[in-house]
Structure 1
Amino acid sequence: MMHPDLMKCFDLTGRSALVTGSARGIGLEIARTLRMAGASLMLTDLDLDATRKAAADVGPDVGALRCDVSDPQSVRDLAAAIGACPDILINNAGVGREGQTRDTSDDDWRFVISVNLDGVFYCCRTFGAAMAERGSGNIVNIGSMCGFIVTKPWGGPAYHASKAGVHMLTKTFACKWAKSGVRVNAVAPGYIATNMTSNPNPTRVELTPVGRLGRTEEIANVVQFLASDASSYMTGAVLSVDGGYTSW
C-alpha cells in the first residue's frame, strides 16, 4: 500500500526554480520535468532567442533571461533581474572540447573551465549565499562520469578536470551550507542522447553496460528527485546516472 504522503515528497508546487543552460538538451528536459512537478521556472542560456523559444515550449508563464555563467557580472545581473532568490538552482550549463592533451589550446582549456567550473562556482556563490542567508534552498549541479574516470574515447583534459571540480564544489558547498538549510547535490550523467551526440561513437555504446545511450528524461528525473523533499537527507551526494559505465 502506497504511503499517502509519498507523492507529496516529489511535489514542487509553490517553489521557484532557475535552470542554467536550458535552451536545449538536458537543461530543457530538466525544465520540463520541474514544471510537471509544479515548480515555477526561469530559464537562462547564452542565446536569448533560443531560451525564449524553449520557455514557450515548457509553458506560457515560464521566464527567459540571457546569462553567460562564465562571467561573474553576468551572473550578478541575472540575480538582480530575477529579484527574489529562487528556491531551486540547477547548474546545467556546460560545454565540451575533445582532443588529445597536446592538442588542447590555451583558449580551449580556458573556455571549458570557465563555463563548466567557474560558472558553477559563480552561480553557487551568488544564489547559494542568498539561499543560506534566507535559511532554505536546494542546488543541483550537473557533473559527469568524466569527473570520476577517464572515459573511452578520450574526452579531453579540460572536460574531465572541470567535471571533477564540479563534484568537489558540490561537496564543499554542501558542507558549508548544511546547517543553513541549503542542500547541494550533483548528478553525474554518462553518455546521453542529445544534439551533441547525434552520431554517437559506437565504442561509447559498447562500453556502456546497458548497451545504449541515456535519455535526457532519465537525467531530469534524478534531478527532480534531488530538487524535491524526497531527498531531504541528502547533501554532498554525486549520483551516477550512466547506464553502469563507471561500474566496470
Structure 2
Amino acid sequence: MDLNTVEAVLRPATRHDLQPFRPGDAWLAGGTWLLSEPQRHLRRLIDLSSLGWPALEVGPDGLSIGATCPVATLESFEPPASWRAGSLIAACCHALWASFKIWNTATVGGNLCLALPAAPLISLAVALDASCLIWTSDGTERRLPALDLVLGPQRTALAPGDLLRRIDIPAAAFRQRSAFRQMSLTPLGRSAALLIGTRHDSGEFCLTVTASTPRPLRLAFDQVPSAEALRHGIDATIPIAAYFDDVHGAPDWRQHLTRHLAEEIRAELSA
C-alpha cells in the first residue's frame, strides 16, 4: 500500500546517524505490516536495513538474532546437534502462516514488536528465556526479558524512539527438552493457541502459553506436575476472562485448547 503521507525515508548507516525520534516517525524493517494498511499519522520512515545488522550469530553463549533477520533466514538455520530444543525454531516459523514473499521480507524483530497475540516468534523467544537488547532513545541501551516485552495486543514495553536491536537466546535454553503444540480454527488460520513446554535436566518444567491469551504467559514448576496440578496452575493464572477474544476463537474454546494442549505437553515431557 502506498503511504502517501510519508515525506521522507531515512537510511542511517550507523547508530550515530539516527536522528532524534519524533511524532510521525516509524522504524521500517520488513514493512510487511506497515505497508499493509493506511498509516495516516506517519511522516518519516527510518529504514533499519541500511544498518547492516548480522542476521544470526552462533557462539558458546547461544544464538543472537538481529532484529532485522528475515523469518526465512531464521527458519533455514540448522542448530547444533546438542541443542535439543532447536526444533522449536522451525516449528515457530511454520506457525507464521504466510506466503514465501512474506517469509523473505518479514523480520523477527518486527514479529516481536508488532506484539500480536498469535505472533509465533514471541512464543519462541519467551519459551527459550530470550533477552532483548534495546537501543533507547537517549543513546543508551537496556536489556529486557522477552516475557516482559509484550504487554498486550500491539502494546510493548518499548518507549517512543526505543529500538529492538537483538534477541539473545542462551545455549542452556536450547539444551532443554521441549514440546510444541499449536492449533487454529481453520487448517491455515492464525494460531488460536500456541503452547511450548520445556524441561531442564534438573527437572524444572515450564509452560509458555501464547495466542490464546492477549500477552505471553509462563508457568514454572520445580518438576513435571501432575495433570491436576497443571490444570489448577493454568486456571489460577488464566481465568476465563483473561483469554483473548476475536474472530479466530472464543474465550471458552481457547481455554479448552489451552488445557488440552498443555496436558499433551505435560504427558510428553514426563516420559
* Normalised-by-shorter TM-score class: under 0.3
TM-score of the aligned structures, taking structure 1 as reference length: 0.24
Question: Of Structure 1 and Structure 2, which has the larger fraction of its residues in helix?
Answer: 1
Higher strand share: 2
**Which structure would you say has the larger Rg?**
2
Structure ranking higher on relative contact order (CA contacts 8 Å, 6+ apart): 1
